[in-house]
Structure formats: structure tokens, C-alpha cells
Amino acid sequence: MIQERSVEYEYLRDFYNREENQILVLYGNRYNGAKEFVRDFLEGLDHFYYLARQCSAQEQVNQWKGELKEELPKGTVLGDDLEGLLSAMLNQKCVKRVIVIDEFQNIVRSNPDFIETLLRIAADKWNNQPVLFLLVSENSFWVENQMVEKLGSSAYDIAGLLKLNELKFLEIVRHFKNYELTDCVEAYSILGGFKEFWEEFSDEKTIPENVCDSILKKGTLLYEHGLNIYPEELREPAVYNTLLSALSSGREKLNDIYKYTGFSRAKISVYLKNLIAQGIVRKVNSYDTACRENAQKGIYRISDPFTEFWFKFVFPHLSRLGDLSSEAFYQKYIAPELLKYTARYFIEVCSEYLELMNRMGRLSFRYTKKGSWIGKVGNIDIIAQDEEGQTLVAMCSYEKEQMSYEDYEWFMFCVKQAKLTVNDYFLFSAGTFDEQIIEEAAANENIYLIDALKL
């Protein structure tokens, strides 16, 4: 995890190396490997770790006190409140100590004075050993939407906030060493950037074999997650299932969702907002160009790959899993549509490639903003511009064995519809290129052909 999270690791080390006592919040999705990351960070450091339970404030103290009796030297005086426990830990001599409180929101909910207690102890640098308090949560929604309200003004005294986002495609390539690039793209389109999901697949098996063994069989982590996608804050799964079913079937406009579900537009908007806050859905606005009349207004898409995979392929046919083998289910319901489904995530892979090239200064200019143009007729997969308006556009082809010249002409038509003046054209293909496209690129130095072997 240290290699995969090198930026986050250095950020954490910076706080640890500071002379002042610090309180840092680290959070992320429940499947993004936060616990593994913390465990790797703590290696070789003096530390105490506590996993907060959902219980009363006094029971929390009782549970932690019971654990500390096993960790601290015999005879250590432990108080009967939180401050007494923390003082006992900090009286143990060391260069610097890390105190990790995992799922700390469980303490905050029952003890409103929790952060004030930490702040008071952190400020008392004369009587205690140096300390970094690392508050960990796998409830991103709570941290981003409720923490400040619960903590009040004390929230602003927290020294840092570090979110562990989903891992990038490059990391999935490193993880599945025996896979071809296209296999990695398909794995990414199914599992997303969650390390714990990757562990359920094996690169000794094909993608179909992994799906059959790890998603379509009851009792596996991924199957159970599909049945329980929503966190505790979302309490009406019937409504959310209906909305995600609509989105996975291609109904991305608010009016189309309204016609499909029969819910009021106001209700749809509220529940979509909740899904957006959880990172399950995102609102996609077309990149702003000189031609707004040809662009669509905002649409909604499922942003979590596994959720989209589940609702597109498994949720509509759950009954069939009862009388079909997982292999037969895969061949009937998943195989015919998988290439088309994966194509959307291939765009994200290509976007990540351009992002890397941009950071390395390998493009003809450094862009500062990037997005997609969603037209009423046709789309532009990627648009990127710098402050002066220099523009690159990209088309990403995954489904076809060869990008045809007709595909290229359609792409150029969409660019014209968006009324863009373009500096560079990037054509990405998971297969090969038509000879005519190759000739076009040879004659124009601002057309770049990138196939799967170059990504």
C-alpha cells in the first residue's frame, strides 16, 4: 500500500515529523484499503490502535480500558474516563507515539466532548510524550457531510484532512501482472479502484472465470456487496434500487428517469443528491464550448464501476441465478454486452494516460481543465484546454478490432458540432487503426494514434 499510496504516505509522514502534536483525520471508502494503509504506515512506529464500537460513551471507555490492560505495563493506572486512558498511553516514554482511533465517528456520536478532549491533550506538550492522533473513518459521507456539524468549532482545530481516493488504473495494471492491458481495462470496469475488490480476482483466471467465481456465486464478498451496496445512511433501498436500475439501463436524463420510475421530479432530485454525496452517482455536465445549443444539459451516471456492473448485468436477472449455472448466466446476460459496457471505462483509462502525460510535460501544452462534450447528436470523449484556449480532443475506441476511417470522420463531425478550434487530436484504440487513418496521421503532426500497446 505504501507504493500505491506514496503521495498520501508522504503527507502522513510530514505530519508525523512535525514537532507539534497533531490531530489528523484520514478517511475513505470502506473498500479502498484504509486499514491496510494505516497498518503499513504504523510499521516500526510506537503506537496504540483502537477500533471504536457503536456503544455508549462509558461502554466505549470500558472496552478501550480492557484492551489497554493487555498493552500497557502492569501497574499502569488507568482512569475511568477518556482523558485518563489517553494520559496513561502518553505517559509511556518514546520518541513519538501515534494513537489511532479507527471509526472515530462512533465515539463522536456518543461523546460530544471527544474532540475537545483530544485538543486539550494535544496542546499539553509539556506533560505528555509527543503524539500524532490519527482519526480514521471508512464513512466518507459522515466525514464530508456531518463531521463539522457534530464537532462544531472544534473541527477547525484539526490539523489535516486526508482522503484515500480510489486507486488509479495504473495500479490495477501493476496488481494484475499476468493480464493483458485489455484484461485490466475490463477488470477496472467491473471492480473500479477498490483494492479489496481486486483481491477477489486472480490474474491466473480469465475475466469470465473471475466474474463467475467471485460475483455470481452466493456467499462471496462481491455478491454480498451487490446485495448490500448502500451504507447505513441510505435507508430506502427500494427507491435507490429503482433509480440505479434506471441509470444502468441508459436513462440518464431527469425526465427519462421520471418517466421510468413514476417518482416525482422533486423526489428523484433529493435521492439522486444522496447518491451523489455517497459517491455512487455523479452529475455530468457537458464541457462548456462555444456551441451550447448542440450540447445536452446535465445528465446523471453511476460513478462506481461495481455498482453499475451489478445493476446492469446482475440485478435485472437475479432470479435466473437460481436455475442457471454462473457460467451459463455469464454467457447469456453478460458476455454479449461486456465490450460495450467496458468502452465507457476505457475513456477513463485514456483520460488517466493524458493526465500522466500532462504532468510529465509530454504534451504540446499543459492543460488546466478537462471534461467531455455531450452532444445532442454524438459526443467528444475528452476535451482539455489551457488558460489560453489551446485545445486537445480525444476519441476512445474499445469495442472494435479496428478504428475505421468512418469512425474518425464521425469524430471530426462532433468536433465541428462543438465549434472547437483544435490544436491536437488523440485517437485511442484498443485494437488497430484503418490504413487511411494511419496515412492521415502521417500527414498531420497534430494527430496522435495511441493503441493499447502504447498506453
Structure confidence by residue, pLDDT tens digits, 68-83: 999 999 888 898 899 9
Model-level pTM? 0.88
List all residues 6 or more positions away from 293 whose beta carbon is below 8 Å from its beta carbon: none
Residue 127 pLDDT class (50, 70, 90 cuts) = low
The helix-helix angle for 34-42 and 6-17 (nearest 10°) equals 50
Give the 3-state secondary structure of residue 277: helix
d(CA 224, CA 395): 36
The answer to whether the CB of 184 falls within 8 A of the CB of 206 is: no
The helix-helix angle for 435-443 and 405-417 (nearest 10°) equals 50
List all residues 6 or more positions away from 433 whose beta carbon is below 8 Å from its beta carbon: 402, 403, 427, 441, 449, 451
d(CA 118, CA 2): 28
Q: Which helix (H) or strand (E) element contains residue 264?
A: none
Residue 126 pLDDT class (50, 70, 90 cuts) = low
Q: Using alpha carbons, select from 440, 445, 438, 449 the residue that is nearest to residue 423.
A: 445
Give the 3-state secondary structure of residue 294: coil
Residue 128 pLDDT class (50, 70, 90 cuts) = low
- What's the pLDDT score for residue 123? 84
Q: Using alpha carbons, select from 343, 374, 357, 352 the residue that is nearest to residue 424.
A: 357
List all residues 6 or more positions away from 152 whose beta carbon is below 8 Å from its beta carbon: none
- What's the pLDDT score for residue 211? 98
Side chain identity at residue 366, one-letter code: R
DSSP 285: P
Kindly state the average pLDDT of the residues 312-339.
Answer: 96
Residue 30 pLDDT class (50, 70, 90 cuts) = confident
The answer to whether the CB of 351 falls within 8 A of the CB of 369 is: no
pLDDT per residue as tens digits for the range 129-168: 789 999 999 998 899 989 999 999 898 899 999 999 999 9
Q: Using alpha carbons, select from 64, 72, 65, 66 the residue that is nearest to residue 97.
A: 72
d(CA 450, CA 398): 12
pLDDT per residue as tens digits for the range 172-219: 999 999 999 999 999 999 999 999 999 999 999 999 999 999 999 999
With pLDDT > 70 as the criterion, what percentage of the chain qualifies?
A: 97
Whether 342 has a pLDDT exceeding 90, the answer reads yes
Kindly state the average pLDDT of the residues 331-354.
Answer: 96
H runs (alpha helix) in 331-424: 338-359, 405-417
Residue 91 pLDDT class (50, 70, 90 cuts) = confident
d(CA 309, CA 229): 12
- What's the pLDDT score for residue 344? 93
What phi and psi values does residue 210 have, to the nearest 5 degrees? -65, -45
Q: What is the mean pLDDT of the chain?
A: 92
- What's the pLDDT score for residue 129? 75
List the grid coordinates of 177.
501482472
Map out the domains of the chain with their CATH numbers. 6-164 (3.40.50.300), 169-341 (1.10.10.10), 345-451 (3.40.1350.10)
- What's the pLDDT score for residue 453? 64
Range among 110-124, 285-299, 310-324 with highest mean pLDDT value: 310-324
H runs (alpha helix) in 199-236: 207-214, 221-227
